[in-house]
Amino acid sequence: MYLVYTMHATTTREKIKTGGLCHIAIDVSDVDRSLKFYTGMFDMNIIGRTEKYAHVQTAGARDSLFLFKADGPVSPGDCGLTHMHFGFRIDDKNFDKALEYIRMNNIPVHHNPSRGTGRFVYIEDPDGYVIQLEPGDCE
């Protein structure tokens, strides 16, 4: 289910500033195999692990990658994946601007029923890629 707003010009010419990417989340066919690949190739620490996902983070930085067990075959070129998205960390002031911009410019909002409570929004770019906007430290 998507929420769609009517497109309007913004009231400001200011662009929304981000604090960088929060994380990348991808579907994988085998979490253990992918975990071994990423931690074997890159200096990454395992932050969390369940049957359904692994969360790794670069050592000395806050670059995070979530490896989710796919609900079906993994074929990134075909899209339609279960958890594929990327996220931007933005401060509270810019988050409010972003919500206004999304509403004013008819940007589709992507519903994420599996996400808990908190202040965040998922939107889609023109090609359908899902982008998460989240204020704070992305912890």
Please state the domain extents for the chain. Answer: 19-135
* pLDDT value for 48: 95
Of all residues in the chain, what percent carry a pLDDT higher than 70? 73
pLDDT for the residue 9 = 53
Cβ(82)–Cβ(70) under 8 Å? yes
The whole model's pTM is what? 0.56
The whole-chain average pLDDT of the chain stands at: 77
**What pLDDT was estimated at residue 47?**
94
Closest by CA to 87, choosing from 44, 26, 5, is: 26
- Burial 113-135, CB ≥16 within 10 A → b, else e: eeeeeeebbbbeeeeeebbbbbb
CB 50 within 8 A of CB 41: no
Q: Which fold has domain 19-135?
A: 2,3-Dihydroxybiphenyl 1,2-Dioxygenase; domain 1 (3.10.180)
Answer whether residue 81 shows pLDDT above 50. Answer: no
